[in-house]
Each structure stands twice: as structure tokens, then as C-alpha cells.
Amino acid sequence: YKKLSTTGVAKEAGITRAAMLYHFGSRSDLIEAIIRHVTRRRIDMYTEAMEGLPHEEGFLESAVDIAWQQLQTPEFEAYTELSLASRTDPELRALMEPALAAFDRARREAALGLFPRYLSDNVEFDLRRDVVRFLLEGVAQQDGITFNREERVGAMLRFLKLLIGTEDGVALLRKAVGASQEDDAA
């Protein structure tokens, strides 16, 4: 993010800087367009992958695998770079925060339309999605699993599948949601 320049982008795109500036008048305009593109692409990729998933046994397990696979893409790499840089750059933060909120809402709306009703109508629906999303994104962003990586990532994916897809796991999620609702009422 810090090294991104309009000159470098024009050169990489094979166009003149003037032509690029015609479309993106400033570096900030270019960054904003990248944020919109990456956000839209991530939602489109999610929707496309989930649309073909049959609503049968193994749905949630397949959804976890899809989520993990999509974090191995250039779109997620760009999202990560921008998201992390926005933590210390107020100008970028002003661009990222609305995009992050829009992504979160759009992803939830997509999930509501793609998940079977017996899953989306449950009290733990949002917590289930958040646990999967943020655990997997955290691992992908940090890329800190180096020793026995395949084995440990596999165990984490299996854990998530058990947590969100078994009666015992769902009971824990419901207990957490119930405790949260009790705290809110108090």
C-alpha cells in the first residue's frame, strides 16, 4: 500500500500516466476504486462458490472449506494489506471502514440467501459465521503457522467443522449467544 503509485500502476497496466489519471484523478481515487473492487470481488466469489453447494449433509463442512480456499486468493491478499495499513493511516481508514461495513452486511445478506433456512433461522447463525470468518482470516493474515503447517491447519479446519456442525458445538454457540442476550437484557 505504501509503495503504490499512480506511475507504477500506469506502467503495470501498460497505459500512460495521463490515461490512468483520466480514470483515477489521484492516488486516493485509485485506492478507493481498489477497495470497492476487492470488496465486490470477495462477495461475488463467495456467492458464486456457495450457490452451487447442495443443501445436504456436509453443507457446513463444505462452506468452511470454501471460506478457507477464498483466503488464498490475490483478492484476500489485497484486502489484508489495505485492512492492516488502515489501522495506522487515517485517510485509508476513512475509506476502509465503510467498505468493511458494506462487506460484512453484503456477506451476511448473501449467506441468508444461500444457507438452508434450518441454519439461517437459528439464533447462532451470526456467531457461527463470525467464528469461521474471523478465525480463518486471522490465521490467513498472520500466516504464523509454520511448524507442521498442513497438520495444524487441517486440525483447525476440523475443529471449526465440529464447532459449527455438531450438536455439542452448536450447543456451545447457543450458550454463548444466550449469555450475550442475557448480558444485554441486564
The C-alpha cell 478507493 sits at 32
Alpha helices in the chain (DSSP H): 6-13, 17-23, 27-51, 59-70, 74-86, 90-114, 117-120, 125-142, 149-165, 167-185
Rounded CA gap, 19 and 11, in Å?
11
Closest CA to 96 of 78, 70, 108, 112: 78
Give pLDDT, residue 178. Answer: 87
- pLDDT tens sequence across 14-62: 999 899 888 888 889 999 999 999 999 999 999 999 998 898 889 999 9
Q: pLDDT for 96-155, tens place per residue? A: 999 999 999 999 999 999 999 989 999 999 999 999 999 999 989 887 777 888 999 999
